[in-house]
Amino acid sequence: MSAPSFLSLLSSAQHIIITCHRGPDGDAIGSTTALASWIRRRYPASVHVIAPNIFPDFLKWVPGAEDILIYDKHEAEVRPIVEQADLVIMCDHGELRRMWTLGDVIRPLLPVGGGQPGAVRCIMIDHHLDPEPDIADLVISHPELSSTCEVLLRLLLEIDPPRGSLTHNEAVSLYTGMMTDTGAFTYASNRPEIYQLISILLSYGIDKDKIYRNIFFTYSQNRMKFMGYMLYVKLNVWKKAHTTIMTLTNAERRRFGILNGDTEGLVNMPLQILGTKLSIFLREDTENPCIRFSLRSVDDFPCNEMAAEFFNGGGHKNAAGGEFWGSMDDALELTKRAVQKYLPLLKE
Ligand code: 5GP
Ligand code: MN
């Protein structure tokens, strides 16, 4: 990987910020908290983790999550920290635009946005396809790996072989990201090395069963009943296309008392119907007048290509997302066109 350049950029930094994408998930929270803790133990620089917006409650227990600054909630306090940074480390995203307004503040600091060359350096640690060119001094991008936490763990192992000199808490954070980005090792996890990496993390005494429960067994009564409603009332099966569609409005969120993060995992469930190849979930955004898309598939169906072509988004082959600025009805029409276009692949 790129250990020497990584270490040299860290040595010359005084004020480091570590960022993740909007709508942080387990991989975003796991990689940023593990990296912040690791850097703080070795370097005198100040280190802040900054998320563009809030993250779900089921990630609050992750070690270090309590120190994460939320940009859109505390803009006045966080902005000076961003503007003071001389090193930005982007974790789990390869494009500045995935940070929304936080990305708008960071861009002009970098040479690509007109900033003085060399004044603010940037490292990208990620596993998404097509990293934005020219933003980072060092790009550590591995789309073939399960998660950003796996990319980071491999880097730390290269720096300190054979076990990476981690703390127990850093091992917990890294395991959390690898587990959540693979649906608890049910997809994107066929490479044998991933199990060697898990074995190293287990050697730090982490309780993987408890981490699983902390993430997945956290339903409120409301959430469980809401899931039932979505599956019983809102699930549409387009049989010929082996595709399922679910939609969620903000009125329904209010009706069921649905909190941020309560829709997590819902899009995966219809894939359990025998023969289903693609599951699409459309939901009204809670903060902006747009519709958020989540796509999940099995085997070779390319969710990321459909998301990029129709939903202004992207992601991975089996898990992608995007957005549509318009009404739910128009978003559904767009979805129909997308499925129609991909029908030959879906019908097989
Ligand atoms: P989710 O459905 O959980 O929101 O997103 C699944 C995956 O799709 C994410 O891990 C991310 O890789 C990708 N993704 C989601 N939304 C977007 C988007 O707006 N743009 C891009 N490029 N990728 C997205
Ligand atoms: Mn990820």
β partners of residue 320: 295, 315
**If you measure from the C-alpha of residue 128 to the centroid of ligand 2, how many angstroms do you get, rounded to a whole number?**
7
User: Which is more confidently placed, 218 or 210?
Assistant: 210
- Averaging pLDDT over each range in 26-40, 179-193, 208-222, which range is the top one? 26-40
**Rounded CA separation 113/133 (Å):** 12
Q: What pLDDT was estimated at residue 151?
A: 98
Ligand number nearest to the C-alpha of 32: 2
| Sign of the torsion formed by the C-alpha atoms of 93, 96, 98 and 102 | positive
Please report which ligand is nearest the Cα atom of 266: 1
- Provide the token pair at 244: 């399922």
Q: Within this chain, do residues 15 and 45 fall inside the same structural domain, yes or no?
A: yes
Residues with CB under 6 A from ligand 1: 128, 294, 313-316, 319-323
Residue 174 has pLDDT above 90, yes or no: yes
Using the mean position of ligand 1's atoms as its centre, give its distance from the Cα of residue 27 in Å: 12
Q: Cβ(81)–Cβ(1) under 8 Å?
A: no
Cβ within 8 Å of residue 76, ≥6 positions away: none
Q: Are residues 185 and 264 in the same domain?
A: no
Residue type, 339: V
**Looking at residue 15, what is its pLDDT?**
98
pLDDT number for residue 1: 66
The ligand with the least distance to the CA atom of 311 is 1
In 3D, which of 131, 132, 133 has the Cα closest to residue 142?
131
Give the DSSP letter string of 58-98. Answer: GGTTSTTGGG-EETTTSHHHHHHHHHH-SEEEEES-S-GGG
Mind giving me the DSSP string for 212-267?
HHHHHS---HHHHHHHHHIIIII-EEEGGGTEEEEEE-HHHHHHHTPPTTTTTTGG
Do 229 and 152 belong together in one domain?
no
When pLDDT is averaged across residues 35-40 and rounded to a whole number, the result is 98
To the question of pTM greater than 0.75 for the whole model, the response is yes
Instruction: Verify that 225 and 210 share a domain, yes or no.
Output: no
Do 138 and 20 belong together in one domain? yes
Residues 202 and 341 in one domain: no
CA 27 / ligand 2 centre spacing (Å) = 5
**The domain boundary residue, chosen from 214, 232, 252:** 214
Q: Is residue 133 domain-shared with residue 13, that is, in the same domain?
A: yes
18 to each of 28, 40, 88, how far by Cα in Å? Answer: 10, 12, 6
Q: What CATH number should be reported for the domain holding residue 300?
A: 3.10.310.30
User: Residue written as tokens 């119907």?
Assistant: 273
Distance 145 CA to ligand 1 centre (A): 16
Lowest-confidence pick of 110-114, 134-138, 219-223, 331-335: 219-223
Domain match, 182 and 229 both: no
- The atom of ligand 1 lying closest to the CA of 320 is 8
Average pLDDT of the chain, as a whole number:
96
Q: What is the largest CA-CA distance in the chain?
A: 60
DSSP 233: I
Number of domains comprising the chain: 2
CATH number of the domain bearing residue 56:
3.90.1640.10
- Ligand 1 binding pocket mutation candidate from 128, 132, 281 (most atoms within 8 A of CB): 128
Q: The tokens of 343 are what?
A: 């029908």
Domain that holds residue 36: 3-214
Same domain, 182 and 282: no
pLDDT(278) > 90 = yes
CA triplet 38, 40, 45: central angle to 5 degrees?
135
- Do 130 and 37 fall into the same domain? yes
Q: 314 alpha carbon to ligand 1 midpoint, in Å?
A: 6
